[in-house]
Structure 1
């Protein structure tokens, strides 16, 4: 049996919820399920994805609009104080949702973040076309991180920590200066723990074209002069051209 794509369902649910928000209306689980052709009890799975996105992007709690037949919020709702639902609803109703792209647009044709990340690893996708389809920065960075986790076998390229919650996707050419292709290019990324990511972004730790680590004199670390840990697949190694350009930029 084919696996259910909750991201694709979230894509459909997003536009329905936005329409309700604009019209200052709530929607029941049954109404939402019927609109998407799914059982109302299955709504909690894709609503969880929408709720997480709104929390991560610091948006009003869009899923507060979904209620049971008695008009009550579901148990899975954690994005707002349930003792102050009226204020949460007003924040959703008054927000200008027309300025927000559907963050699940990438899933409109049945794609998933994991599937797209694998295509990035396998060089099976046009990065510029993909970025145009993703549009939302938070979603693009999430896909980018998934790809780098796979490329670096879930280990920081500097200290080799394997604590996944600490691992982050660092851009060599910073996001603000990257082309549309570079924003999702695994060769323009390095998997780093949160501490080394901050030092790297600040220019206090850098890498030369031979993949050796250098640090500002104020930074005391045993990493200086060592070679960073590279992906096993040479096709996924950091771009030497990007490393040189980064040194010029900082």
Structure 2
């Protein structure tokens, strides 16, 4: 499975978690998708980039560390002070109506988002 396909699979799990108004731990997400826990950050990044570029609530805010209940260090969709508000926005958004953007769109989003977190509008 390509990385972008795994990201698309993870998107579907997170959309259902949002609909249920639930967070999901990294280990739960790994179990739900059959993915390796250590690789989740790389598969979450295209989702995060897609949300930033398309001005959507930060869907990846729902993935949290079991010990702290906080997103991992790679999450850039909100500051620590904004987490509760970001989660509320994610819960309120109609992810199932929006639909899964698919592997190709997620891959493209990852390419458009440089490490400084500012979208590159040139694909």
Provide the TM-score with structure 2 as the length reference: 0.81
Distance 2:81 2:75 in 1: 12
Quickly say closer, same or farther: Cα 1:60–1:166, change in 2 above 3 A.
closer
The residue correspondences of 1:141-156 to structure 2 (distance < 5 A) are: 142=108
Quickly say closer, same or farther: Cα 1:7–1:86, change in 2 above 3 A.
same
Aligned to 1:23: 20
1:84 Cα offset (Å) = 2.0
Larger radius of gyration: 1
Distance 1:24 1:10 in 2: 20
Pairwise CA RMSD:
2.1
Matching residue within 96, 99, 118 for 1:98: 96
Aligned to 1:32: 29
1:166 Cα offset (Å) = 7.5
- The answer to whether the aligner puts 1:59 opposite 2:62 as a matched pair is no
Distance 1:166 1:21 in 2: 28
Distance 1:69 1:97 in 2: 24
Aligned to 1:75: 73
The residue correspondences of 1:149-164 to structure 2 (distance < 5 A) are: none
- Deviations 1:171-214, CA, capped at 9 Å, x for gaps: xxxxxxxxxxxxxxxxxxxxxxxxxxxxxxxxxxxxxxxxxxxx
SS of alignment partner, residue 17 of structure 2: helix
The structure with the greater share of residues assigned to helix is 2
Provide the TM-score with structure 1 as the length reference: 0.41
Q: Flag as ranges the 4+ runs of structure 1 deviating above 4 A.
A: 165-168
Distance 2:84 2:121 in 1: 36
- The answer to whether the aligner puts 1:87 opposite 2:85 as a matched pair is yes
The residue correspondences of 1:1-250 to structure 2 (distance < 5 A) are: 5-70=2-67, 71-104=69-102, 107=103, 113=104, 139=105, 142=108, 167=122
Quickly say closer, same or farther: Cα 1:167–1:21, change in 2 above 3 A.
closer
1:167 Cα offset (Å) = 4.7
1:51 Cα offset (Å) = 0.2
